[in-house]
Structure 1
Amino acid sequence: MPQELRNQVKEITLDMAGSMQKIAKTCFPRAMQVIDRFHVQKLVYEAVQELRIHIDWQVIKEENKAMKAAKEKGKYIKRKNSKRRYTQAIIGQKQIFII
């Protein structure tokens, strides 16, 4: 493709690979680079999953401490949310609709 035509390209959609960005900038210097939706959604999904798992473990640890303290005092505490522990597949399906 001649340079004259490449200079007329206004927008390029790419994935998030750094090498692709360099190639696009070299071949189409005037084009705006846009990251495709799939890769953005994937990053958001992974970040939400990581955060959800971190929070879930925090809650479990806090419940365990409270249950241990209650047991030492001769009391019983029921877990607040027993439905919290989904399988990974079910969690993934639910969060796809969130994003």
Structure 2
Amino acid sequence: MFIIVFGNAGMIFNIISLSLQLVSSGVIVPHEMLSKTYETIGELFPATYAANGYYTIIFGGVSLEKNIISLLVIILVTQLVAVITVSIKGIVKRRSHVVKEV
């Protein structure tokens, strides 16, 4: 999504966000050892909810609902932003094409 929104600069953002997800998801470093900053960052990324869901399935747990709902919300927001961005770029491209013809 970030490549669609930001172009080539989105690749840099993807690398940074992937690194943050690896640290803050609780897979590499347990949640108990994370600072409050990384816990807050982890709540924004889907890897945290995917890892928690995985651990719930493998080791047992109370419920998957929170993780599934969080992942669905992230998917919906991401898709909405991508659709809006592609639509805006299409409108701008059509308008610039019309201006060139005149």
Q: TM-score range by the shorter chain?
A: 0.3 to 0.5
Structure with greater proportional strand content = 1
Greater Rg over alpha carbons, structure? 1
Q: TM-score when scaled to structure 1?
A: 0.42
Structure with greater proportional helix content = 2
